[in-house]
Structure 1
Amino acid sequence: MKYILYSTLLSVLFIACTHEQKPASLDDLAENYVKLVLEIGQYNSDFVDAYYGPEEWKPTAKKQDSIPVQDFIVRAEELIQSVSDINVNDSSVLIKNRKAMFTKQLTAIKTKLEMIAGKTYDFDKEAQLLYDAEPPQYTEEHFDQLLSKLDSLVPGEGTLTERFNLFADKFIIPKAKLDTVFRVAIAEARKRTLANVSLPGNENFVLEYVTNKNWSGYNYYQGNYESLIQINTDHPIYIERAIDLACHEGYPGHHVFNALLEKNLVVDKGWKEFSVYPLFSPQSLIAEGSANYGIDVAFPGEERVDYEKEVLFPIAGLDSSKADLYYQILEIKGKLNYAGNEAARKYLNGEFTREEAAKWLEKYSLNTPERALQRTGFFDQYRSYVINYNLGKDIVATYVEANGGTADNPEKRWEVFKELLSNPNTASDLKVEE
Structure 2
Amino acid sequence: MAERYIRLGLRLDRHVEGTVDAYFGPPELAAEVAAAPPVDPRALVADAAALLADLDDGWLRDQVTGLHTYARVVAGERLDYADEVEGCYGIRPTHTDEAVFAAAHKRLEELLPGDGPLDERRERWRRSITVPPDRIEQALVAVIAEARARTLALIDLPDGEGVVVEGVRDVSWLGYNFYLGDLRGRVAVNLDMPTSAVELLLLGIHETYPGHQAERAAKEQRLVRGRGLLEETIVLAPCPQSLISEGIGQVAPMTLLAGAGAAAFETLARDAAGVDFDLAHALAVERAAEPCRWAEVNAALMLHADGASEDDVREYLRRWGVMGDEMAGHVVRFMTEPTSRTYIVNYPAGRALCGAYVGDDLDRLRQLLTEQVRVGELRSHPS
Superposition TM-score, scaled by structure 2 size: 0.93
**Aligned alpha-carbon RMSD (Å):** 1.9
In the other structure, the counterpart of 2:184 is: 226
- Which deviates more from structure 2 when the two are superposed, residues 344-353 or residues 188-197? 344-353
Paired with 2:229 and 2:280, the residues of 1 have a C-alpha distance of 47
Task: List aligned pairs for 1:66-77, cutoff 5 A.
Answer: 68-77=40-49
- Which deviates more from structure 2 when the two are superposed, residues 419-428 or residues 47-56? 419-428
8 Å CA contact 1:38–1:59 kept in 2: the answer is: no
Q: How far off is 1:335 after superposition?
A: 2.5
Q: How far off is 1:289 after superposition?
A: 0.4
In the other structure, the counterpart of 1:148 is: 106
Instruction: Give 2:61's match in structure 1, choosing from 86, 89, 103.
Output: 103
| Residue type at the aligned position of 1:425 | V
| Residue type at the aligned position of 2:162 | N
In the other structure, the counterpart of 2:246 is: 288
In the other structure, the counterpart of 2:353 is: 395
In the other structure, the counterpart of 1:25 is: none
In the other structure, the counterpart of 2:115 is: 157
In the other structure, the counterpart of 1:420 is: 368
1:361 aligns with 2:317: yes
Q: How far off is 1:111 after superposition?
A: 0.4
1:333 aligns with 2:289: yes
Paired with 1:50 and 1:324, the residues of 2 have a C-alpha distance of 35
Change in Cα spacing, 1:295 to 1:327, as seen in structure 2 (3 Å) is: closer
Instruction: Give 1:56's match in structure 2, choosing from 23, 28, 33.
Output: 28
| Residue type at the aligned position of 2:294 | Y
Paired with 2:4 and 2:253, the residues of 1 have a C-alpha distance of 36
Q: How far off is 1:383 after superposition?
A: 1.5
In the other structure, the counterpart of 1:429 is: 377
Q: How far off is 1:141 after superposition?
A: 2.2
1:47 aligns with 2:4: no
In the other structure, the counterpart of 1:137 is: 95
- Which deviates more from structure 2 when the two are superposed, residues 202-211 or residues 332-341? 332-341
| Residue type at the aligned position of 2:295 | A
Paired with 2:257 and 2:85, the residues of 1 have a C-alpha distance of 30
Unaligned runs of 5+ in 2: none
| Residue type at the aligned position of 2:43 | D
Q: How far off is 1:299 after superposition?
A: 2.7
1:309 aligns with 2:266: yes
In the other structure, the counterpart of 1:4 is: none
8 Å CA contact 2:122–2:323 kept in 1: the answer is: no
8 Å CA contact 1:39–1:59 kept in 2: the answer is: no
| Residue type at the aligned position of 1:130 | C
Any idea what SS the aligned residue of 2:22 has?
strand
Paired with 1:265 and 1:287, the residues of 2 have a C-alpha distance of 15
1:32 aligns with 2:7: no
Q: How far off is 1:259 after superposition?
A: 1.1
Any idea what SS the aligned residue of 1:218 has?
strand
| Residue type at the aligned position of 1:369 | D
8 Å CA contact 2:11–2:39 kept in 1: the answer is: no
Paired with 1:325 and 1:255, the residues of 2 have a C-alpha distance of 28
Any idea what SS the aligned residue of 1:335 has?
helix
| Residue type at the aligned position of 1:318 | V
Any idea what SS the aligned residue of 1:380 has?
coil
In the other structure, the counterpart of 1:14 is: none
Paired with 1:203 and 1:324, the residues of 2 have a C-alpha distance of 31
Q: Which has the larger radius of gyration?
A: 1
Paired with 1:123 and 1:299, the residues of 2 have a C-alpha distance of 36
1:345 aligns with 2:345: no
Change in Cα spacing, 1:75 to 1:219, as seen in structure 2 (3 Å) is: same
| Residue type at the aligned position of 1:370 | E
Aligned length: 379
Cα deviation per residue 1:65-112 (whole Å; 9 max; x = unaligned)? Answer: x6501111111111111114xxxxxxxxxxxxxx51111111110100
Q: How far off is 1:421 after superposition?
A: 1.8
| Residue type at the aligned position of 2:197 | I
Q: How far off is 1:325 after superposition?
A: 4.5
Cα deviation per residue 1:272-320 (whole Å; 9 max; x = unaligned)? Answer: 111111110000001110111111223335743x334333124322233
8 Å CA contact 1:131–1:284 kept in 2: the answer is: yes
In the other structure, the counterpart of 1:265 is: 223
Superposition TM-score, scaled by structure 1 size: 0.83
In the other structure, the counterpart of 2:276 is: 319
Any idea what SS the aligned residue of 2:158 has?
coil
Paired with 2:121 and 2:232, the residues of 1 have a C-alpha distance of 46
| Residue type at the aligned position of 1:298 | L
8 Å CA contact 2:318–2:328 kept in 1: the answer is: yes
Paired with 1:327 and 1:297, the residues of 2 have a C-alpha distance of 12
Q: How far off is 1:136 after superposition?
A: 4.8
In the other structure, the counterpart of 2:328 is: 372
The percentage of aligned residue pairs carrying the same residue is 26
